[in-house]
Structure 1
Amino acid sequence: IILDTQNSRKRKPTSSGAANSTGTGNTVGHSPPSTPSTHTPGGGIPVASNVNIAQKSSMVCGADGTSGFASSSNQMDNLDSFVDFEDNVDSFLSNDDGDGRDIFAALKKGPSEQESLKSLSLSEVANNRASNNKVVCCHFSTDGKLLASAGHEKKVFLWNMDNFSMDTKPEEHTNFITDIRFRPNSTQLATSSSDGTVRLWNAAERNGALQNFLGHSSHVTSVDFHPKLTEILCSCDDNGEIRFWTVGQNAASRVSRVKQGGTGRVRFQPRIGKLLAVAAGNTVNIIDIDTDTSLHSQAKVHSGEVNCICWDETGEYLASASQDSVKVWSAASGQCIHELRSHGNQYQSCIFHPRYPKVLIVGGYQTVELWSVADNQRNVVPAHEGLIAALAHSPLTGSIASASHDRWVKLWK
C-alpha cells in the first residue's frame, strides 16, 4: 500500500540524519546463529548505574502552528508475491474486529475539549546517559515497567521504571542496532542491526541472545512483533526486503520486497495486526496481509526520506515523519488528513500521545513538539542537545521516552 503526495524531491541521507538512525552502516558482518534458550523468564532488572533523576517545570501546549493538507491518488499497485506462510501462521490473516472509535471525531466537540488540549503539559521526570554513543531507538514493554534502548554502541540497555536501575546485554551485534521492540506481554525483545541480523533477547535473564535470525543480505533497518500472534516478527532491510520470522524457527516463513527500496521501517497495525505499515525511501506502504497487496497507489508521500512511522492505538490512523513534515493518514482511504511542516526543524521521530489521541509528539533537532491535530496548535519543548532519533510511549502508564544522538535517554510525563 503506498500513499501519495505531489512532491518528488529525494533527500540524500547524511551521516547525522536518517541514515544513522535507520540503519545504513559501513560494513555488514553475520554472526553464527545461536541456539534458542530453554530458560524460563525470571528475576528482574538488576544493577543500578549512572542514572540522573531530574524534575523540570511543565511546558504548556498552545503555540500557534500551521499545517497543509494533501491527498493521495487511487491507482493500485501490488507488491511482489509473498512466499507462502507455514501452516502455523495461517491465522495471521484473520479479520478480527478492532476498536472502531474514530479518534478524530472529537474535532466536532465543543470548546471545552479544545481548551483541555491547550492546557496539556509535558515534563521531564528522569534521564539517563548510559550509552557512550548515539542512541537511535527505544521501546517500552507492554506493562510499561521496562524501557529498552540501543544504537551505535551495539548493545541493548534496559532501564527499570520501578527503581531506575540500569542493565545491559552482551555486545553480540557486530554493527550498530537500528531498531528495538518488545514482544507483546513479554520480557522478550528483538533488535535489528546494520550487521544484517535480527536477534531475540530476554530482558529478565543475564545471558546473551536467545536466537539469531539470518537471511537478510543487507543492513536490517527495522523490526516489529505481531500484536496478536506474538511468536511472529517482521523485519526489513535497506534493499526493501521484508521477512517474517517465527520465534524458535531459523528460516523466514515469508519473504517479500517493496518496489522502492531504501532505508525502511515496519510497524504492525495495533491490536488486530491485519495491516503492516512499511516506510521505504520517501514512500509509505500499508500492506493488507490478507491479500498480499498495497491498499493504495505507489507514490512519493514526502519530499525526503521517511524517518519514522507510527500507528494510533486504534489502528485507524498512521503518522509518518520526514525532515520537513509530519503527515497523518487514514488507513481506510489512504488520504492525508493532517500535515505539520517542520520549518527547518529536521523531524526524525513521532508518536501519538498515550493519553490524548488527537495529539502527536514529534522529535526533531534538540526539541520535541506537541501537535494538536484538532486545532493545529503546537508547542516546542526543549529536550536534548542533539537529534531526537526515537520516541516511545506506554499507554498503560502514560510515560513517554525520548532517545537522542546526544547519548541521553529521557523520561517524560
Structure 2
Amino acid sequence: MTDLAMPAHKSVAFVRTTPAPRVPRPPLPGGPLHWVRTNLFPTPFNGLLTLLVVLLFVWTVPPLVRFLFIDAVWMGASRDACLPSVANPDPGACWAFVRTWFSFFIYGPYPMAERWRVDVFFALLAFGTAWLLWLDAPRRGLGAAFFFLVLPVVSFVLLSGFPAIGLPTVDTASWGGLLVTLVVASVGIVVSLPAGILLALGRRSTMPAVRLFSIGFIELVRGVPLITVLFMASVMLPLFVPPAWSPDKLLRALVGIAIFASAYMAEVVRAGLQSIPKGQYEAANALGLGYWRMLGLVVLPQALRVTIPNIVNNTIALFKDTTLVFFVGIFDFLRTIEIARVDPNWATPVTSTTGYAFAAIFYFVACHFMSRYATGIERRLAAGDRR
C-alpha cells in the first residue's frame, strides 16, 4: 500500500476546474443524398418499388405532356385544324374544340341574354363558400346564415327567374353544363350532412319507431346503386304528390341525390359517434347538460372531428357521382361534352379524347382542392393533441 500512495506534494482532481473549450457539434446527416437514401432506398424492396415507380412515370408522363400541351392544337374553327396534315402529321389534343364550346360547357342551353345571372350565382357561391370555409373569417355565424339561408333563396330566384322584379322565367330544362353540376353537388353536400346526422342519431335512438325507421331508410338506400335511386326519384316521386305539384326533372334528381348522400353520410357520422368514449356522455350528464346540448357541445364536435376524412371522402364521391344525372335527361357538365363531341364540325376521335381530358382535369382539380382543404383542417384540429 505504501508504494501506491500518492506523494503529499501532488493532488488528484477528478473535476475540471477550467471551462472546456467550445467545439462545434458534429454535423447531422443531411442533404439530398441522405434524403434519397432514407426515403427512397431504405431497403432493397423499397428501392425496387422506387425504380418501378420512376419507370412508370417516365413511360406515361412525357407522352401525356406531349399530347396535351406540346403537340396540341390551340387555334382553329373546325375539326380540320385538328386532323393530321403535312405541317402537323401527328396532332395532339384539340384545345380549339374546347375553346369553341367552352361557354356551352359552362352554361349549357341557358339563354345567352340571361347568362349574367349564372355569373352572379357563381360569384355568390364562391363568396359564401370562402366565407364559410375561412376559419379566421370575421362573423362566420353570419357567413353560415348567408350560405344556408340567404344563398339558396337568392340563387333559386336568380336562376329560375321572377317576372315581378324583371327577371324572365328560365325553365330548368334550359339549365346545363357546369351550372347544373355545381347546383346538384352543392344541394347534395349541404343537405346530406345535417340529414345524415339526424339519421345517425335516429339509428342510435332508444325509441323503437325512430330507430327502425332510420335503420330501414339507411339500409334500403345503401342497398341500391345511385342510378337506381335517380330513376326511382324521376319515375315514382310524381306519384306521391298532386299533378299540379309534380316537380321537374332537375328537382327530382336533387331529391334522389340528397336521399342517397344522406344515407351514406349517416353511417359516417354513426362511426364517429361510436368512437366517443362512454365517459364523455357521463361527464356531460354530470354537468347537467340536456340531451341536445350534450350532443351540440360535447359529442358531435368530437365525432365530426374524428370522421373528417370519411366526410371528405363522401363529399368527393358525391361530387363525381353528379355525372350520373345525365342518365335521367339532365344536361350536366359531362353531358354537354357528349353533345359537343358529336357535332359534325368537330366529330373526330381526338376531339372526343380532348373533351374527356378536359373533364378529367376539371374533376381532378376540384377534388384535389377539397382534399387539401380537409388535410389543412385536420392538421389544425390536431395541433392541440401534440405532445
TM bracket (short chain): under 0.3
Which structure has the greater CA radius of gyration? Answer: 2
Q: Which has the higher contact order (CA 8 A, sep 6+)?
A: 1
TM-score, with length taken from structure 1: 0.22
Greater fraction of residues in strand: 1
Greater fraction of residues in helix: 2
